[in-house]
Amino acid sequence: MDWSSLNPQQRQAVETLQGPVLVLAGAGSGKTRALTCRVAHLLETGVPAWHILAITFTNKAAREMRERIDRLTGGMAGEAWVTTFHACCARILRRDIDKLGYERAFSIYDEDDQTAVLKELSRKLNIDDKFLPVREIKARISEAKNRLLSPDGWFQQSARDYRCQMISDYYREYEQRLRASNALDFDDLLVKTLELFSQHPPVLEAYRNRFSYILVDEYQDTNYAQYMLVRLLAGQTQNVCVVGDDDQSVYGWRGADIRNILEFEKDFPRCKVIRLEQNYRSTANILDAANNIIAHNEGRKEKTLWTEAGEGEPIRLFSAGDEREEAAWVCDRIHQAQQAGEKLGGMAVLYRMNAQSRVLEEMLVRAGIPYRVYGGTRFYDRREIRDIVAYLRVLVNPADDVSLRRIINTPRRAIGDATIAELPRAAAQNGVPIFNAMLEPPETLASRARKSVGDFAQLLTWLMALRESMPLSDFVQTLIEKTRLEMQYLKEDSEEARTRVENIHEFIGAVREYEEKADAPTLEAFLENVALVTDLDGMPENQQTLTLMTLHSAKGLEFDTVFIVGMEQGLFPSHLALVEGRIEEERRLAYVGVTRARKRLYLSYAMQRMLFNQMQRNAVSQFIEEIPSRLLDNEWNRRAQPIVNPAVRTREQIVAARNAQAAARDFAGGRSGALHIPGVQQGFSASLASRFAAQARQVALFQPGDRVLHRKFGEGDVLEVRGKNGDCRVVIEFAAYGIKEFVASIAPIVKVDG
């Protein structure tokens, strides 16, 4: 087979077949190609397919690898195991789990099955879920299994307090329940395989003899159990090739251990290290920025990405006044890219946490830009947000049975499945909505159920009356408190629960923002706005759409144009990471984000940001400061040239200049410099304020089609000019705020270039 198309390092990775090999593959360096070609080369040299084990992290990646190998070899992959860790272990256990006392026809429990078992155990042990949530128990058990710890072992390495003792007891009971049901959970697939190998050496030896050559992709993402599996299978031949990039190890929070790749040479002393540093994805400027960011990490393998492609465009940096201006800037740049012929499918907006998507989604809807949220749930479709919205819909329309069914036992209030089934039957019998049936609970219900249903109906009735006498945002906050929607997550000690609480705070912030901007805010109108945002769910899948995703979700993907928003200290890197000393993983995440871009990279940060219902004023991210200024095109300093000559010679001009300076200070809030503003509120520069003073006396300058700048609403297009002189009115369409009409002589409007 001809490997001439490979670069020297890739070819070395393909042709070094004996002994341990560590391939340090930088972002976009062609690691997948090198890995598949290595398997093809093994087959070409006469290695039987059944001697090869190639492990990836996803079924999709495994499927694509097998297809590539078959194309290269003419279908020789045959009996080679090209699979994931969990699928590999399941296959092994199907053959030999009987040696551990299980039946071979064991069940594999998913997360819902796990939850059901743990909930049953909670009832058996009489433990209140509010005190020890099932989600926390499940997370701790998974953590223990990934570290190969028994219930007692986990307890010894924990805080060893009463709460940890209870979790340990749960873990023990849970394992007994799985055993009695002849079932394994997802983590058990690895644990039981290692247990099988440990207790039955002949089985391990058989698989060592079978798998003479082992290849592992994304090795930096392996946990301890996966690491041990690779170590055991490598055996005496140690023909194991791992491919990964320590600079892209960003899953520490879910068990990945970067030490597995950093210490590979210690585990395999005869290891050959090959570095893939030539990048085939990004321009030189983007790679230069990524190299400079990641160079600040100490715990890493040295490598520097480079490319034969040109420098490319500079990295655009934008300083926004707030998150809405940032979102409008993104929309404006997307429109510009579309006008230049770029497809939406080649663009992505990345952010540190899911809650940031809310303002982006709202602005994209208003700007008419179709999008999809990748690797997560849309803000208004997230469970905790849908629960709040369902409550609000019932308060507006008590006949909304769908929303009522969602909230009737959310949070849990002792209204069981039997009761939930009986209420619709009683309502239908009397020809009324479910809510009406709840006001007078049917006699067919048990007394406790009748009381729970009656109490909930009273709560809803009270909230219906309350909303008429309170500001909208205060009312929403009161609803969340009285229904305990937030409290249910505050009691949990998990990353998922913290994220849900953050999203709830973000929702309150969205209500408050709506309340401040609307002339006559109502709950009905707010719900309409929410419906507008979520209407895009019906968009055809084949439609070209912008991609929104977290930085974690972006790993492994690439786009022509990438926006990374929220580059602020405390947001990215996160406050928690700074407090806990996890800055290096955050920096690796920044490296991942930057290297997703093929041609264009946009970075932005906001001077202030409403997040989690709190106004935050953060400094610019240290990751931006780690990028050399020569690589950045700072759009804050690029503004249109003034129309009015700045020279001041007459008394009138002096007065006008002073007024302009005062206006500039007021508009800009003390900020200086010149900016071409594409979105929402941003301050005027002195030159723009001078133009405002001049144009206030020359209102006839405004014409339909003019691009103008408003102090509060940002940039917009003049649709119509009505009247003359002092009575002149200007109708303007703003991307973020729709159509507005102003008196030209007094409105803070200036014409901008371009």
Residue 65 phi, psi (nearest 5): -65, -45
Amino acid at 516: E
**Left, alpha or beta for 223 (phi > 0: left; psi -120 to 50: alpha)?**
beta
Question: CA torsion sign, 715 to 720 to 721 to 727?
Answer: negative
Cα–Cα distance, 390 to 367 (Å, whole number): 27
Q: Which residue matches tokens 């709190």?
A: 614
Cα–Cα distance, 432 to 436 (Å, whole number): 6
Cα–Cα distance, 52 to 720 (Å, whole number): 71
Of 31, 316, 333, 406, the active-site residue reads 31
Residue 5, classified by CB atoms within 10 Å of its CB into exposed (0-12), middle (13-18) or buried (19+), is exposed
625 carries an active-site annotation: no
Of 366, 596, 639, 751, the active-site residue reads 596
Residues in the chain: 754
What six digits make up the tokens of 52?
Answer: 């090869």
Residues facing residue 215 across a β-bridge: 54, 241
Cα–Cα distance, 93 to 566 (Å, whole number): 46
595 carries an active-site annotation: no
Of 185, 217, 422, 635, the active-site residue reads 217
Residue 713, classified by CB atoms within 10 Å of its CB into exposed (0-12), middle (13-18) or buried (19+), is buried
Of 16, 32, 338, 499, the active-site residue reads 32
Which residues are CB-neighbours of 2 under 8 A, at least 6 positions away? none
Q: How many Å is the Cα radius of gyration of the chain?
A: 31
Q: Which of 234, 230, 193, 224 shows the shortest CA–CA distance to 93?
A: 193
Q: Which of 518, 417, 527 shows the shortest CA–CA distance to 467?
A: 527
96 carries an active-site annotation: no
**CA 520, 525, 530 angle in degrees (round to 5)?**
135
257 carries an active-site annotation: no
Of 9, 36, 248, 653, the active-site residue reads 248
Helix, strand, or coil here: 246? helix
Cα–Cα distance, 288 to 296 (Å, whole number): 13
Residues facing residue 515 across a β-bridge: none
218 carries an active-site annotation: yes
596 carries an active-site annotation: yes
Helix axes 583-594, 284-294, angle to 10 degrees: 180
What six digits make up the tokens of 65?
Answer: 């690898």
Cα–Cα distance, 601 to 564 (Å, whole number): 8
Of 218, 246, 247, 325, the active-site residue reads 218
What six digits make up the tokens of 346?
Answer: 């080649």
Cα–Cα distance, 220 to 19 (Å, whole number): 20
Residues facing residue 709 across a β-bridge: 715, 750
Catalytic residue positions? 31-32, 217-218, 248, 596
